[in-house]
Homo-oligomer: A and B are copies of this chain.
Amino acid sequence: MPRTEPKKPTRQRDADRTRTAILDAARTLFSTRGFTNTGVREVAELAGVNSALVGRYFGSKEGLYRATLERIIDISPMLHGDRRRFGVDMVAIFCDTQDASGPLAMMILSAADPAAHAASIEFLQTKVMVPLAAWLGPPNAEERAARLNILWTGFLTSWKLLPLEPLSDARIASTRRWLEAATQAIVDEGTG
């Protein structure tokens, strides 16, 4: 007799590691397939855990979405650079950093679901727009924040979600410069 069958390779039990593995997998899938087209079983499989654990740790799929949002939304790094270089810094972060556009893609692709939609708006408002407007300062802080939001939502959507020929990676240089200037103009509006 060789030995008793090895059963399971004695997988370590670690709740924290499991939680973060699920959250990592959820971020990846939500930001590429959106809320509705991402299945709980898919997330669990990518995370390498049992699918029932998603329900255990996050209550429901919507709970997982909210937890994923809360984890990845953080614009504070962008608000600590040189104010006069905000345009070029933003372009560099979003164009050159891998998956910096993930959170926005996740929200856009999930906007078709009412629950995910509500969660997205709530977090976008409190974690992005309010700090951004405060950083911009008068005059018309909120409206300028809204314009930045328009510009970048449009750019990232056109680039990543509905990519068209003129925005292909090879031809994006000219658009980058335009975007830098337009972004900087909104920031500088207060210091005219």
Closest to A171 in B: B143
B112 touches A165 (CB 8 A): no
Q: Which A residues, 157 to 183, have Cβ-Cβ distances below 8 Å to chain B?
A: 157-158, 161-167, 171, 174-175, 178-179, 182
Across the interface, A109 reaches (CB within 8 A) one of B33, B111, B146, B163, namely B111
User: Does A20 sit within 8 A of B, measured CB to CB?
Assistant: no
User: Does A68 sit within 8 A of B, measured CB to CB?
Assistant: no
User: Does A60 sit within 8 A of B, measured CB to CB?
Assistant: no
Minimum distance in angstroms from A120 CB to a CB of chain B: 6
24 of the cross-chain contacts (CB-CB < 8 Å) are A34-B36, A107-B162, A108-B108, A108-B111, A108-B157, A112-B112, A120-B162, A121-B164, A124-B164, A125-B164, A140-B174, A142-B166, A143-B174, A146-B158, A146-B167, A150-B154, A150-B155, A150-B179, A152-B154, A153-B154, A153-B162, A154-B157, A154-B158, A157-B157
Contacts of A51 in B (CB 8 A): none
Mostly helix, strand, loop or mixed at chain A's interface?
Answer: helix
How far, in whole Å, are A150 and B176 apart by their CA atoms in the complex?
12
A37 touches B146 (CB 8 A): no
User: Does A113 sit within 8 A of B, measured CB to CB?
Assistant: yes
A161 touches B129 (CB 8 A): no
Copies per complex of this chain: 2
A37 touches B151 (CB 8 A): no
Closest to A37 in B: B112
How far, in whole Å, are A129 and B181 apart by their CA atoms in the complex?
23
User: Does A23 sit within 8 A of B, measured CB to CB?
Assistant: no
Give me 9 other A-B pairs in contact (C-beta within 8 A), A120-B162, A147-B178 excluded: A35-B112, A37-B113, A108-B162, A124-B162, A129-B164, A143-B166, A146-B158, A150-B151, A151-B151
User: Does A18 sit within 8 A of B, measured CB to CB?
Assistant: no
A150 touches B175 (CB 8 A): yes
